[in-house]
Structure 1
Amino acid sequence: MSPKPPSQQQTHQTDDYLKLRKSITIQEASDSQIKKIYQILRSSQKDLQQFSVSQRAAEIDKIIGYIKANKEAICTRIVTDTGKSRTDALVSEVLGVLDNLHWNKANAHKILKLRKVSTPISLLGKKSYIQQEPYGTVLIIAPWNYPFHIAMTFITGAFLAGNSIIFKPSEHTPLTGLIEEICAISPLLKQSLKVVYGSGVTAEKLIDEKPNKIFFTGSTRTGKAILKKASQYIIPVDLELGGKDAMVVFPDVDIKRTVAGALWGGLTNAGQSCTSVELLCIHKDIFEQFIEQLTTAVQPLVINTGDQGDADIGAMTTDFQLEIVKQQLDDAIEKGATIIAGGNTFNEKGRFFPPTLVSNISPEMKLYQEETFGPVIALLPFDDEKQLATELNQLPYGLSASIWSRDIDRARRLANAIQVGAVSINNVMLTEGNPALPFGGVKQSGFGRAKGKEGLLAFTRSKSILIDKQSSKIEPNWFPYTRQKYQLFQQLIDVLFTPSWIKLIKLAKTGLALEKEAQRDRGNQ
C-alpha cells in the first residue's frame, strides 16, 4: 500500500501550481547594474551606522507586524514557488522567521553593545573594551529549500548589526518581489537592501565586486566553488552546507512517539532540509518492531501541494533534485538494498515522490554516503554504541543528529562522541527551532554559525579598544632597555605566574621598581 496520492480537487490545485512554476523567469543582472548596486549600498551603509541598535530593532518590529498580518498571502507565495505543503510553509517558514526575528530584536542590543572586559593586573590603571562593528556591505546567497526563512532571518540579522545587504535568492525559488514588499514597510531597511535575481553567473559577478563578507547556504559542491572564488579576494565566508543526519534509537524508547518523530524528521518539506533524518539507526533489539510500526504509519500520509493545510508532504522543488533521489535509490537497489515502502514516483509531472523506506543499506551505496535531500529514509540496525559513533564520524558530513533514549546520560554520552554541530535528544530537528541556539556544522557541512548570539555576531567583526590616561609617565616596557629592567621583568614573570599568598605584595614591589626605573630612564633622555 502506498501513501495517499492527491484527490481530484487536489490535482486541480497541483496543476495551478505547475502553471505558476512555469512562469518563473530570471534575467541575469548586468555588470553595470551590479556595480551601481554596490555603490548605492556602500553609501547607504554609512547612513545606517548613524542609527543605534535599538532604533534598528524598532524597524524589525514593523517587519514582524507585517508578516503576521499577511501570513496567508506569504504562505501562498511560498507554496507557489516551492511546492511545499501549506502547513510546511506556515510552520517551517513563516513561524520560523517570526521566532527568529522576535529573538534577534529583543537580544540584539545586549549582544552588540560595547562590552567592557577584564584588564590584567600588569596593565593596572587601564581599561579594555570590545566593540562590535558591521562588516559593511554583505552578500547573502540563499538556497531553494527554505527561501523565505533563510532570506528574512539573514537579512534582518545583518541589518540589526548595521550592514547593508545584497541578497541573491535561488533562481529556482526567487519569491519575486516578496522580500522587497515586506522590507518596504521599513524605509531604513529598504534603503539598506537590494535583491539581485539570477543564477550562479550573477553570484560570481556579485563576488567579483568584493562584498565585505559572504553568507552562503546550499550544497557542499556550490559552497566549495564560492569559497574558492572568495579566496581570490580574501573575503570571509560563512558556509552552511549539506548534511547526512542520523537519528539514533535505543531500545528503551516509546516506539509510537519515536516512529512519529522519525517520519516527520525524514519527510517534512519532502525531505528537502539539510537536517532531515536520512540515516535511521535503530537498535537491533527493536529493529523489526520499529520498522513494522514505521511502515504502517507512513501509509496514511497525504502527498500534495496547493492544499488548504490538509496535506502532509508537498512536491519536490526541482527536477534535478528529484533525479538525484532516483539515482541514489537505483544505485542502492543494484547493490542489494530493499525498498520497504514507496520507491517510485506516481506523478512525474508534479515532482511528487512518495515517502520511501529502504533497508539493507551498506557503506558503498550513495544512499549511505551522499546527501539525499528527498523523502527517503535509510534504515540501519546497530548493537554497539561506540561502533556506531565511529561509523557516523566517518561520514563526510556533520550537521546535526538526534538521539532517542530514556537514559539521558547515555544520550548525552553519544551526543558528545559524534562529530556534528547540533544534537536533539528525544526530539528531531529541534535545535534549529530555538532561536537562541547557534546553527551550523562541521566537516563538509561547512563552518560558521547562524542564529542566536553567534549568528548575530557573525555579521560583525570585533574591535579591541584599550584606554589609558594621558600623563607624563613612560611605560616600563618602552625604550630604552637596560640590564636593570631586564632583571626586574624576570622578577615580574616569576611573581605573576607563581601561586603565592603574598603575590600582590610582591607584584606591587616589583611594579614600583619598574616604574621607578622607567621614569629614571626618561629623566636621562
Structure 2
Amino acid sequence: MDIIDPSTGERIESYAEHTQSAVEEALDRANEAFEEWRLRPVREREELLAAAGEVLRENKRTYAETMTREMGKPISQAIAEVEKCAWGCDHYAEHASAYLESEGHPSPPGASVETVYEPLGPVLAVMPWNFPFWQVFRFAAPSLTAGNVGLLKHASNVPGCSMAIEEVFREAGYPEGVFQSLLISSDLVDGILADDRVRAATLTGSGPAGRAVASTAGEHLKKTVLELGGSDPFIVLDDADISAAAEVGAQARNQNGGQSCIAAKRFIVHTDVYHAFLDQFTEAVSSLTVGDPMDEETDVGPQARQDLLEALHGQVEASVEAGARVVTGGEPLDRQGAYYPPTILTEIPEGCPVDAEETFGPVAAVYAAPDENAAIVKANDTEFGLGASIWTEDRERGERLARQIDTGNVYVNQLVKSDPRVPFGGVKESGYGRELSNAGIMEFVNRKTVWVE
C-alpha cells in the first residue's frame, strides 16, 4: 500500500499488505480473545476504554499528523478529530454499564424474567478514509466495551491510521486479539465476512460497498450496520438568521474538504431571502483559506486523492454543461497537489450530477424555494436520507418541519454532526442501523431473555 501525500502528489511511505495466512492467524486470535474478553466485567472494559482515551489525548498531535499526511485533512481539524475520539471513549467508559444493565419484565408469581445483553463475537469493521479515526472509534468504543472484539479493514490510503488505532488499544492495555487491523484489499472482505469466526459487520462507505457487505452477510445470516452516502439538505427559511446560516453553511459544506457524508450539499433557500443568503454565503465561502494542510491557518486542504478530485470536477463540469451557473470556484487549482476550491453553483437543472448524486468535495448547490412546503419537497427529493439542517427563528416551526424530512438526523439552527450522546444513522440509500449512544452499543449484542421459575 503506497501512501501518496495529496498535498504534493508524492509517495511518502509504503506498507506491506497482510497475507492470507496472516489474516487466518488474526481470525484465530480474535476468536480466542473473544472467549476471555466476553467474561471480563463491564467495569474492567470501561476502565480500559478510559485508558484508550488518555492514549489518544497524549498522542493527539502524532495521530493528527498521520491523518493529514495520508488523506489531507487540515491539521487543526485532525487534532479535533482525535479529541472527539477521546470524548467518545469517555462517554462509553462512563455510561456502558448503565446501557448494558439487564432489564426486568412482568412475570408470573414465583418467576423472574429479564433481558440480558451479551456480545456477539468478532465484528468486522470496514471503514473509510474521510474521518479515519472517528469512524473507527464510534464503532469500537461501544462494541468492544459490550464485549465484542474488532477486526478493522480500513481504507487502503490510510494504513498508517489503521495501525495507529491498533496501537492505541495496545498501549491502553487491551489483551492481544481484542482489536486488530488488517491491511488487506477489498476483495478479501467477502471471504472474511463469510468465515464462521466472524459474527457481524459494520461498514461506512459507498452504496455499492454497502450492498456487497449486506449481501454476503445476509447469505450467512450475520448482523450488519451500514452508514452510507448522503446528499444532505440545508434549508434556509424566510425567518432565518441569514448571517448565522451563511457562516455555518460555509463550514458545513467545506469542513474536511467537503468530504463528509453528512456535509450540507443542497442549500434550499426561501425566495424572500435567497439573494441575501447567497451573497453572504458566497462571501463566507470565498474567505476560507485553501492551502497546506499542515498549516494551522488552513481551512480547506487537498482532496484525499487525485482521482477523487477528477471525479468531483467531472460532476461540476457535467452540471454546468446542463445549465448550472458557477458563482465561485469550479476549476481545480493550478498548483501541486489535489486541490479543489470551495465552489458554489446555482440555477441547478433537475437531474444533473450535483442535483441527483452525492458530491464528495467542496461543492455547494444552491436552490430557491417559494415556500416551506416546496423546500421540504426538494429536501426529500433524493435517494439518500442521512441528515438535514433547517434554519428558522421559530423553533416550533423548525421542529414541525424536521418531522417531515426523511432522514435519520435533523438539526435545527445547527449543522449536522455525530455526537456520542445521541443515535446516528440514516434511512433509504443512506443505510440502516444506528451508531453511538445507547442505540449504538445495542447493535452488536444478543438481547437474551432469561426466564427463571
TM-score bracket for the superposition, by shorter chain length: over 0.9
Q: CA deviation at 1:137?
A: 0.8
| Runs (5+) with no aligned partner, structure 2 | none
Counterpart residue number, 2:436: 451
Counterpart residue number, 1:493: none
Matched, 1:53 2:42: yes
Q: Could you tell me how far apart the structure 2 residues matched to 1:34 and 1:307 are?
A: 35
1:163 to 148, 173, 184: 148
- CA-atom RMSD, angstroms? 1.8
Counterpart residue number, 1:9: none
Q: Which amino acid aligns with 1:246?
A: P
Matched, 1:191 2:181: no
Q: Is the 8 A contact 1:342 1:357 kept in 2?
A: yes
The 5 Å alignment of 1:320-359 reads 320-347=307-334, 349-359=336-346
The 5 Å alignment of 1:223-262 reads 223-262=210-249
Matched, 1:88 2:77: yes
Alpha carbons of 1:280 and 1:241: their partners in 2 closer, same or farther (altered >3 Å)? Answer: same
Alpha carbons of 1:176 and 1:238: their partners in 2 closer, same or farther (altered >3 Å)? Answer: closer
Q: Which amino acid aligns with 1:116?
A: G
Q: Is the 8 A contact 1:26 1:198 kept in 2?
A: no
Q: Could you tell me how far apart the structure 1 residues matched to 2:90 and 2:334 are?
A: 40
- Provide Cα deviations, 1:36-66, integer angstroms capped at 9, x if missing partner: 2111111111111221110001001211111
Q: Could you tell me how far apart the structure 2 residues matched to 1:24 and 1:287 are?
A: 47
Matched, 1:441 2:431: no
Q: Could you tell me how far apart the structure 2 residues matched to 1:151 and 1:326 are?
A: 29
Counterpart residue number, 1:360: 347
Would you say how many aligned residue pairs link Structure 1 and Structure 2? 448
Q: CA deviation at 1:449?
A: 0.4
Q: Is the 8 A contact 1:29 1:202 kept in 2?
A: no
The 5 Å alignment of 1:82-481 reads 82-91=71-80, 93-119=81-107, 123-174=108-159, 175=161, 177-210=163-196, 211-347=198-334, 349-430=336-417, 432=418, 434-468=419-453
TM-score by length of 1: 0.82
Q: Could you tell me how far apart the structure 2 residues matched to 1:324 and 1:159 are?
A: 37
Q: Could you tell me how far apart the structure 1 residues matched to 2:420 and 2:332 are?
A: 36
Matched, 1:40 2:42: no
- Provide Cα deviations, 1:145-186, integer angstroms capped at 9, x if missing partner: 011111223223221010111111110222253112211113
Q: Could you tell me how far apart the structure 2 residues matched to 1:371 and 1:77 are?
A: 27
Structure 2 SS opposite 1:321? helix
- Provide Cα deviations, 1:280-328, integer angstroms capped at 9, x if missing partner: 0111001011111111222221112343311111111022321221111
Q: Could you tell me how far apart the structure 1 residues matched to 2:172 and 2:79 are?
A: 23
Alpha carbons of 1:267 and 1:16: their partners in 2 closer, same or farther (altered >3 Å)? Answer: closer
Q: Is the 8 A contact 2:434 2:443 kept in 1?
A: yes
Alpha carbons of 1:322 and 1:347: their partners in 2 closer, same or farther (altered >3 Å)? Answer: same
Q: Is the 8 A contact 1:397 1:442 kept in 2?
A: yes
The percentage of counterpart residues that share the same residue type is 27
Q: Is the 8 A contact 1:67 1:182 kept in 2?
A: yes
Q: Is the 8 A contact 2:122 2:149 kept in 1?
A: yes
Q: CA deviation at 1:127?
A: 1.6
Structure 2 SS opposite 1:285? helix
Q: Is the 8 A contact 1:338 1:358 kept in 2?
A: yes
Q: Could you tell me how far apart the structure 2 residues matched to 1:286 and 1:16 are?
A: 38
Q: CA deviation at 1:140?
A: 0.7
Q: Which amino acid aligns with 1:461?
A: N
Matched, 1:69 2:58: yes
Counterpart residue number, 1:492: none
Structure 1 SS opposite 2:171? coil
Bigger Cα Rg = 1
| Runs (5+) with no aligned partner, structure 1 | 1-13, 469-525
Q: Which amino acid aligns with 1:104?
A: Y
Structure 2 SS opposite 1:298? helix
Q: Which runs of 4+ in 1 moved over 4 A?
A: 14-17
TM-score by length of 2: 0.95
- Provide Cα deviations, 1:245-274, integer angstroms capped at 9, x if missing partner: 000001212211111010000000011011
Q: Could you tell me how far apart the structure 1 residues matched to 2:296 and 2:15 are?
A: 29
Alpha carbons of 1:16 and 1:353: their partners in 2 closer, same or farther (altered >3 Å)? Answer: closer
- Provide Cα deviations, 1:107-134, integer angstroms capped at 9, x if missing partner: 0001112222233xxx343221011010
